[in-house]
């Protein structure tokens, strides 16, 4: 039985012009989102995939084609790679109308065929006949973006690269472009790489996330896997996990597969610090300092008179921010000074939780994920996030 190979395999290691190291892969028909802060190396990776930059060491394999292999001195030119590229600023020719812009990758065809193919792709992305004959300055941002997508598709690409494609588009147009991308994904049996700073966008659109920081690929996985089990505290920070806390690993509990985690609080003696029974993967030594996280699915609000279990705590609403259809709540925990939970709530229930409300909070300890703190690691009893 032959082993299945991903449609895209990327392995890079270099120190100049900027350090980049790591491996990721993407299947045909999958959308993979590269996420990380500015300067993390996302744009450099895109340039390497498109052939605009050659890595010091590395491989880029698309299907059964080797686009780059530094050991074999292979590096195909951008023109030799069938890449569909959608840029942040669209990169449309201002003096060409939409049809002429989409015709640019089709110069090898007779003019009549170029126009026919360009119109087909513009029809496909939802531009009317009148819009197809307009120049970029006479099109809205969302329409320009559709022209850019049609131009990328006209290359009949084996790989699609989307570099912050929605950042210059207003929210209403952005939603329609999301739907367009979802439709295209069902039709295109190629890997699609999306670079985005918008974590909600990445979670909503992507099958896989690749988290990158300082040129280092830290983790690849589904959005759910990464949010529920980040590899380390830095990954948790980068994907915006709010509920991260300090602890100490005590060791295995009497129950098989379970371990004991001490939740460290400010000014508490060891005897006063709550002990939580959580999953034990058998990888942590006793006394190991840890960060631990819990997803919002593992946090329930209860009435004060319902507090009855070891995983129940007294809480107080210290901040409530109205964000349209949701409220962003910050709750402090009486038993653990310095600990704060951040939750989003929707529906009528949120109206009954003004600042100062005292209630209970119940944790589903089966969803707690524990991460060791390395020698250079830092932790807090809650990562402070800018919520503006």
* pLDDT single digits (tens) 152-196: 999 889 999 999 888 777 777 788 888 888 888 888 889 999 998
For the domain 242-372, what is the CATH code?
Answer: 2.40.50.100
Average pLDDT over residues 36-62: 93
Judged against a pLDDT cut of 70, whether residue 298 lies above it is answered with yes
Domain with CATH 3.40.50.300 in the chain: 8-234
Secondary structure class of 45 (helix, strand, coil): helix
pLDDT confidence of 375, banded at 50, 70, 90?
low
**β-pairing, 208-213 with 216-221?**
antiparallel
Average pLDDT over residues 66-87: 94
Domain with CATH 2.40.50.100 in the chain: 242-372
Alpha-carbon distance of 76 to 229, in angstroms, equals: 38
Alpha-carbon distance of 85 to 160, in angstroms, equals: 6
pLDDT above 70: percentage of residues in the chain: 95
pLDDT value at position 384? 33
Judged against a pLDDT cut of 70, whether residue 352 lies above it is answered with yes
Alpha-carbon distance of 282 to 280, in angstroms, equals: 5
pLDDT value at position 5? 61
CATH topology of domain 8-234: Rossmann fold (3.40.50)
DSSP assignment string, 18-76:
S-EEEEEEE-TT-EEEEE--TTSSHHHHHHHHHTSS--SEEEEEETTEEEEEGGGTEE-
Work out the burial of residue 374: count CB atoms within 10 Å of its CB; fewer than 13 is exposed, 13-18 middle, 19 or more buried: exposed
Kindly provide the residue ranges of all beta strands, DSSP E only, lying in 70-137, ordered along the sequence: 74-75, 83-86
Average pLDDT over residues 322-339: 91
Judged against a pLDDT cut of 60, whether residue 1 lies above it is answered with no
Alpha-carbon distance of 38 to 201, in angstroms, equals: 16
Q: Are 288 and 259 in contact (CB under 8 A)?
A: no
């Amino acid at each position: 039985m032959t082993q299945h190979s991903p449609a895209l395999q990327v392995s890079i290691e270099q120190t100049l012009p900027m350090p980049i190291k790591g491996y990721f892969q993407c299947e045909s028909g999958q959308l993979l989102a590269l996420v990380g802060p500015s300067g993390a190396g996302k744009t450099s990776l895109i340039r390497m995939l498109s052939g605009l930059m050659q890595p010091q060491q590395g491989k880029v394999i698309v299907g059964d084609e080797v686009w780059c292999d530094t050991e074999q001195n292979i590096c195909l030119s951008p023109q030799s790679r069938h890449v569909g590229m959608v840029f942040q600023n669209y990169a449309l020719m201002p003096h060409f109308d939409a049809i002429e812009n989409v015709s640019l990758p089709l110069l090898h065809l007779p003019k009549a065929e170029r126009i026919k193919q360009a119109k087909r792709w513009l029809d496909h992305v939802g531009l009317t006949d009148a819009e197809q004959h307009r120049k970029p300055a006479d099109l809205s941002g969302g329409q320009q973006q559709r022209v850019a997508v049609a131009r990328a598709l006209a290359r009949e690409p084996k790989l699609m690269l989307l570099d912050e494609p929605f950042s210059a588009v207003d929210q209403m147009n952005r939603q329609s472009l999301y739907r367009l991308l979802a439709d295209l994904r069902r039709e295109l049996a190629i890997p699609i790489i999306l670079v985005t700073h918008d974590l909600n966008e990445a979670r909503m659109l992507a099958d896989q996330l690749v988290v990158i920081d300082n040129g280092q690929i830290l983790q690849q996985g589904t959005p759910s896997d990464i949010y529920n089990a980040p590899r380390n505290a830095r990954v948790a920070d980068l994907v915006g996990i709010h509920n991260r806390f300090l602890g100490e690993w005590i060791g295995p509990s009497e129950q098989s597969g379970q371990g004991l985690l001490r939740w460290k609080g400010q000014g508490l003696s060891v005897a006063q610090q709550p002990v939580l029974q959580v999953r034990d993967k058998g990888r942590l030594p006793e006394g190991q300092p840890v960060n631990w996280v819990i997803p919002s699915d593992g946090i329930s609000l209860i009435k004060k008179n319902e507090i009855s279990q070891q995983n129940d705590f007294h809480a107080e609403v210290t901040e409530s921010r109205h964000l349209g259809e949701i409220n962003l709540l910050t709750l402090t925990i009486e038993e653990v000074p310095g600990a704060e939970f951040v939750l989003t709530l929707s529906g009528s229930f949120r109206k009954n939780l003004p600042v100062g409300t005292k209630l209970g909070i119940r944790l589903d300890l089966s969803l707690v994920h524990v991460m060791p703190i390395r020698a250079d690691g830092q932790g807090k009893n809650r990562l402070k996030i800018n919520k503006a």
